[in-house]
Amino acid sequence: MFSLKNKHAVITGGGSGIGRAISVLFARQGATVHIIELNEDAATQTIGEIQSGGGNAFGYTADISLQEQVLDVFKRIGVVDILVNNAGIAHIGSLEGTTGADLDRVYNVNVKGAYNALYAAVPLMKVNGGGVILNMASIAATVGITDRFAYSMSKGAIMAMSLSVARDYLADHIRCNTISPARVHTPFVDGFISKNYAGREEEIFEKLSKSQPIGRMGRPEEVAALALYLCSDEAGFITGCDYPIDGGFIKLNN
């Protein structure tokens, strides 16, 4: 079950965190993985891990907010069976703590970047007879999160775009779904804590972990396992859906 043999999977932001876990798992399941990354060193490390396990992976350095770069990468890849729009950035701040430049920066990566990959991938999928798209949303798209104005905006847009793509390309056999994680323990979280709470790292880590009813942060590998299912043939009857993976945050955080 859940074989991706002979599939070509494109994963944006596949060099670290959730993207890295998805890349490694997809390769283990037989996919040829194409990682689009701004951080070339991070992509190289992920590719090395995949190749050391006997998998196939290729890296492409590109800024996903720039459409010409994205179109060029997809032209080089040629065949796309799976697209995982994972690349994204965060911003801390309420409405009043968000400048126009902040909003533009988050939009350009999280929203326009996903659009650029969709715009490049969908025509290739149509030629190929179909495909699967998985867009990384967030619980912030559906639940109010303190000081996440721009980030929440961007993830709400991801959910809306995903529904539109799922509806428009039913006849082309293209499925499109979203995953909405709560807090997942990635290098970004560690960096955020050390930058903003120097000397209190252990305390803040515990506080953030306990903000989820299950009592801990998620692991990138857990998100990757859900991504694998949704991108596999076994999920062939699923499109236009969002899947929270949140340790009970949405339903149980009273």
Q: What is the pLDDT of residues 60-105, one digit of tens each?
A: 999 999 999 999 999 999 999 999 999 999 999 999 999 999 999 9
**Residue 135, domain member (yes or no):** yes
What CATH number does the domain containing 238 carry?
A: 3.40.50.720
**For residue 253, what pLDDT is reported?**
78
Q: Is residue 89 part of a domain?
A: yes
Distances (CA, A) of 158 to 46, 94, 134, 234: 25, 20, 10, 24
d(CA 98, CA 194): 22
Cα 109 to Cα 228: distance, rounded to the nearest angstrom: 24
Host domain of residue 99: 8-183+220-247
Q: Which CB contacts under 8 angstroms, 24+ apart, belong to 222-227?
A: 222/184, 223/18, 223/21, 223/22, 223/179, 223/181, 223/184, 224/18, 224/21, 224/22, 224/24, 224/25, 224/26, 225/25, 226/179, 227/22, 227/25, 227/26, 227/84, 227/134, 227/179
Mean pLDDT of 232-246: 98
Give the closest residue to 138 by CA, choosing from 116, 164, 157. Answer: 157
Encoded amino acid at 108, one letter: N
Give me the number of domains the chain comprises: 1
- Nearby residues of 71 by Cβ (< 8 Å), 6 or more positions away: 116, 119, 120
For residue 29, the model assigns a pLDDT of: 98
In this structure, is residue 204 part of a structural domain? Answer: no
- Residue 183 binned pLDDT confidence (cut-offs 50, 70, 90): very high
Residue 10 predicted with pLDDT over 70: yes
Q: Which residues contact 221 (CB under 8 A, 6 or more apart)?
A: 21, 25
Q: What is the mean pLDDT of the chain?
A: 96
Q: Residue 114 falls within a domain, yes or no?
A: yes
**Catalytic residue numbers, as ranges:** 151
Residue 187, pLDDT above cutoff 90: no
- Residue 174: DSSP 8-state: E
Share of the chain above pLDDT 90, in %: 93
- 37 DSSP assignment: E
Strand-pairing partners, residue 37, are 61
Q: Does the residue 233 lie in any domain?
A: yes
Percent of the chain with pLDDT over 70: 100
Q: How many residues does the chain have?
A: 254
DSSP code of residue 148: B
Is 78 part of any domain?
yes
Residues 123 and 121: their CA atoms lie apart, in Å, by 6
Tens-digit pLDDT profile for residues 188-216 = 888 888 887 889 999 999 998 998 999 99
Cα separation of 209 and 40, whole Å? 31
pLDDT in tens, 18-51: 999 999 999 999 999 999 999 999 999 999 999 9
The C-alpha angle with vertex 176 and arms to 172 and 177, in degrees rounded to 5, equals: 160
Is the pLDDT at 156 greater than 70? The verdict is yes
Please tell me the predicted confidence (pLDDT) of residue 195: 83
Query: 164 falls in which pLDDT band (50, 70, 90)?
Result: very high
Nearest partner of 14 among 244, 250, 186, judged by Cα: 186
Q: What are the strands of the beta sheet with 242-245, ordered from one edge?
A: 56-61, 32-37, 8-12, 82-85, 131-136, 174-181, 242-245
Other Cβ atoms closer than 10 A to 68: 10
Q: What is the pLDDT of residue 254?
A: 61
Helices (H), the chain: 17-28, 40-52, 67-77, 100-106, 112-128, 149-168, 187-196, 201-210, 220-231, 249-252
